[in-house]
Chains A and B, each alone.
Chain A
Amino acid sequence: MRPFAYERTNDLVQAAHAGFQTGAGQTDADTQFLAGGTTLIDLMKLDVLTPRRVVDLNPLTAQHSAIEVTASGLRLGAMARMSAVADTPDVARDYPVIAQSLDLAASAQIRNMASLGGNVLQRTRCPYYRDPSWTACNKRHPGSGCSALEGVNVNHAVLGTDKSCISQYPGDFAVALVALGAQVELLGPDGPRVIAFDTLHRGPEGKPHIETTLKPGELITAFQVPAGAWTRRSLYLKIRNRQSYEFAISSAAVALDLDGGVVRAARIGLGGMAYRPWRSKEAEAVLTGKPLTEANAEAAARAALAGAVTHGGNAYKPELARRTLVRALLQTAAMEA
Chain B
Amino acid sequence: MGNYQPMTDQLALPGFSRRSVLGVSAGVAALPSWGGAQTRTPTPQPPPGHIEVVLTVNGQDNRLSLDPRTTLLDALREHLQLTGSKKGCDQGQCGACTVHVDGKRVASCLTLALAVDGRQVTTIEGLSRPGDPLHPMQQAFIDHDGFQCGYCTPGQIMSAVACVHEGHAKTDDEIREYMSGNLCRCGAYPHIVEAVRDAKAKMENG
Do the beta carbons of A9 and B112 come within 8 Å of each other?
no
Partner of A45, one of B4, B5, B91, B180: B91
Residue B84 at the chain A interface, CB threshold 8 Å? no
> For residues 1 through 23 of chain A, which have their beta carbon under 8 Å from a beta carbon of chain B?
1, 3-11, 14, 17-18, 20-21
Chain B residues touching A, range: 35 or more
Tell whether B30 is near chain A: CB-to-CB under 8 Å: yes
Using C-beta atoms within 8 Å of the partner chain, give the interface range for chain A: 35 or more
A-B contact count, CB below 8 Å? Answer: 132
Shortest CB distance A92–B (Å): 13
Q: Say how far B118's CB is from chain A's closest CB, in angstroms.
A: 9
Flag if B7 contacts A3 (CB, 8 Å): yes
Q: Tell me whether A37 is interfacial, beta carbon within 8 Å.
A: yes
Contact at B181–A18, with CB atoms within 8 Å?
no
- Any B CB within 8 A of the CB of A42: yes
A42 touches B7 (CB 8 A): no
Min CB gap A34→B, angstroms:
7
* Contact of B92 with A by CB under 8 A: yes
CB distance from B111 to the nearest CB of A (A): 6
Q: CB distance B51 to A6 under 8 Å? A: yes
- Cβ of A113 under 8 Å from chain B: yes
Report the stretch among A49-57, A191-199, A224-232 that lies at the interface.
Answer: A49-57
With A3-B49, A37-B112, A58-B115 as known contacts, state yes or no: A244 contacts B176, CB within 8 Å.
Answer: yes
- A55–B127 Cα gap in the complex (Å)? 33
Interface-side segment among B54-62, B144-152, B161-169, B197-205: B161-169
Residue of B nearest to A9 (CB): B31
Q: Which residues of B contact A10 (CB under 8 A)?
A: 29-30
Question: Is there an interface contact between B181 and A14, defined as CB atoms closer than 8 Å?
Answer: no
Cβ-based interface call for A285 (8 A):
no
List of A residues within 8 angstroms of B179 by Cβ: 108
Q: Tell yes or no: A303 within 8 A of B by CB.
A: no
- Kindly supply a per-residue 1/0 record for chain A positions 28-44, scoring 1 wherever the CB is within 8 Å of any chain B CB and 0 otherwise: 00110010011001100
- Give the Cβ gap from B109 to chain A, nearest Cβ, in Å: 8
- Contacts A3-B7, A6-B51, A52-B10 given: A112-B21 contact, CB under 8 Å? no
A-chain residues with CB within 8 Å of residue B18 when the two chains form the complex: 5
Tell me if A309 is interfacial: C-beta within 8 Å of chain B.
no
Q: Would you call A56 and B114 a contact (CB within 8 A)? A: yes
Contact of A21 with B163 at beta-carbon distance under 8 Å, contacts A9-B30, A108-B105 already known: no
Most buried by A among B30, B98, B162: B30
CB distance from A112 to the nearest CB of B (A): 4
Cα distance A98–B95 in the bound complex, in angstroms: 25
A70 within 8 A of B: no
Q: Cβ of B90 and Cβ of A45 under 8 Å apart?
A: yes
| Bound CA span A41–B177, Å | 25
**Residue numbers in B under 8 Å from A17 (CB-CB):** 13, 34
30 residue pairs bridging A and B, Cβ less than 8 Å apart? A3-B5, A3-B7, A5-B7, A5-B21, A5-B49, A6-B112, A7-B21, A8-B29, A9-B31, A10-B30, A11-B31, A17-B34, A18-B13, A18-B16, A18-B31, A20-B13, A34-B112, A37-B110, A37-B111, A38-B92, A38-B107, A38-B110, A41-B111, A42-B92, A45-B91, A53-B8, A107-B182, A108-B163, A244-B176, A244-B180
Q: Which residues of B line the A interface, CB within 8 A?
A: 4-8, 10-11, 13, 16, 18, 21, 24, 29-31, 33-34, 49, 51, 67-69, 71, 90-92, 95, 98, 104-107, 110-112, 114-115, 159, 162-163, 166, 168, 176-182
Nearest 4 CB-CB pairs, A to B?
A107-B181, A244-B180, A6-B68, A5-B8
